[in-house]
Amino acid sequence: MAAAAELDQPEDAPAPPWKPLPRIGFRFACAYLTLFCVIYPQPIFALLGIVQIWLPDSMVMRYAQLPHPIVEWVGRTVFGTDVRLHLDSGSGDQAYLWVLTFCVLMLAVVVTAVWTLLDRRHTEYRTVASWFLLFIRIILAGQMLGYGCAKFIPLQMPVPALSTLVTPYGDLSHMSVLWNQVGTSPVYESLLGLAEIMGGVLLLLPRTQLAGALLSLVSMAQVWILNMTFDVPVKLLSFHLMLLSLALLAPDARRLTAVLLGRAAGPSTAPTPFRTPRARRISDIALVALLLWMVAAILVENWDGWHKYGPGRPQSELYGVWNVTELTRDEQPVPPLLTDETRWRRIVFDNPQFAEYQRMDDSLTPVLTELDTGTHHLTLRASDGATELAAFTYERPASDRLILTGELDGHPVTLTLTLVDTDRMPVRQGGLHLVQDEPDGVK
């Protein structure tokens, strides 16, 4: 009855008072989620749109480094450990970021307490809630669009690299298994990305934000579960994106429950900061413009990624997986014994600047490459760039045959290599088979 009475109130009528516990709960949710979106690295940066292109790649992590004196002090004092932000790490679950989130939580508790003590006059916060919901709606949309486009292109989970094809399955981490499983089927990855993109688009289009919040919740719940079960280091952010989705759905919880129970849902009671038709039209136009602003930046970023590390990236002149079929050292043949820790089993050329050689125990070692196609000279260096590991001259008598002659570990060597037809590997022979009398290759 109280809810029905509230629906009957005209827009300019005083809103009914909230009970004490909901008021305190709102103050905490508003303080915590707002502080998290502003302080935690990444969410707020989506609003910069195309400006992000001119920012350094490390800017997002450096932003998180701003409160480092406080975070490091809390780490030592509260948790008894030294925490440092690793700028060169792609992990969103660093100890530093967990302590940062704890600081945000404690700050939100303090803000809630002070707000509760000082604000005895207001009995409801519909106006504050309307601006808060608009803010987190925009933040969530930016993240959904960014992650969605990275999958739709697809770039986030690329097709398994050549070195992955020759890595024993048991040597893969849980995260690598997930990444390669999704990357093996680009169509599936694109569909996952499309769902996230649609969530972001619906959040910003007029009158579709409820559908956008629902789709975002389902998408983020799946992402969070995958992150938790495959140990992907984006657990903190994905969990909070799920919280943002739930916060956006909270004002319509009764309507959604009514729909699930087969009852009439009635009009939405979600607060809006724009009361007049003209203000709503202006806000709708502004949100669509913001959508285009963020999408333009994301597309430019992904276009750049496509050519830097995606399918459009440059490839080595010797691109492929090459098996070492014959090897002579000091003019003596070296048999392919699994117990030989020094013999090379194969070489993988992918990126023009890098290669990986695989020993007989299947371990892979990355090296830097210098390839001169004019003089047919190949130099391999350790990852530090200073230590020269091998220097070869090469000849390619056939497209699938390569001969390297030179010095390796101080010994004169000759390696004869044969190109592997990776397209014949089962993992690269996917596709749709509507009729299958027997499952193909299940082990």
* Residue type at position 131: W
In tens, the pLDDT along 166-205 reads: 999 999 999 999 999 999 999 999 999 999 999 999 999 9
The residue among 265 and 346 whose pLDDT is bigger is 346
Q: Which residues of 282-318 are buried (b: 16+ CB within 10 A; e: fewer)?
A: eeeeebeebbebbbebbeebbeebeeeebeeeeebeb
Determine the pLDDT at residue 269.
80
Task: Check: CB of residue 227 under 8 Å from CB of residue 314.
Answer: no
Structure-derived torsion over alpha carbons of residues 238, 213, 209, 294, reported in degrees to the nearest 10? 20
Tokens of residue 366, six digits: 């990355």
Per-residue pLDDT averaged across 237-242, rounded?
97
Lowest mean pLDDT among 204-208, 239-243, 426-430: 426-430
Stretch 340-354: mean pLDDT: 93
* pLDDT score, position 171: 93
Length of the chain in terms of residues written: 443
Mean pLDDT of 412-435: 88
Reported pTM: 0.89
pLDDT at residue 8, rounded to an integer? 38
Output the pLDDT for position 144: 97
pLDDT tens-place string over residues 305-340: 898 888 888 999 999 999 999 999 999 999 999 999
Do 367 and 380 form a contact (C-beta atoms < 8 A)?
Answer: yes
CB atoms within 10 A of CB 239: 16
Q: Kindly indicate the confidence band of residue 441, based on its pLDDT and cuts at 50, 70 and 90.
A: low
Alpha-carbon distances of 148 from 72, 145, 174, rounded to whole Å: 34, 5, 22
Note the pLDDT of residue 190: 95
* Lowest-confidence pick of 123-127, 271-275, 290-294, 428-432: 428-432
Q: List the one residue out of 440, 442, 378, 365 whose CA is nearest residue 405.
A: 378
Residues 64-113: pLDDT tens digits? 999 999 999 999 999 999 999 998 888 999 999 999 999 999 999 999 99
Q: What are the distances in angstroms from CA 342 to CA 137, 331, 361, 383?
A: 57, 16, 10, 18
pLDDT bracket for residue 282 (50, 70, 90): very high
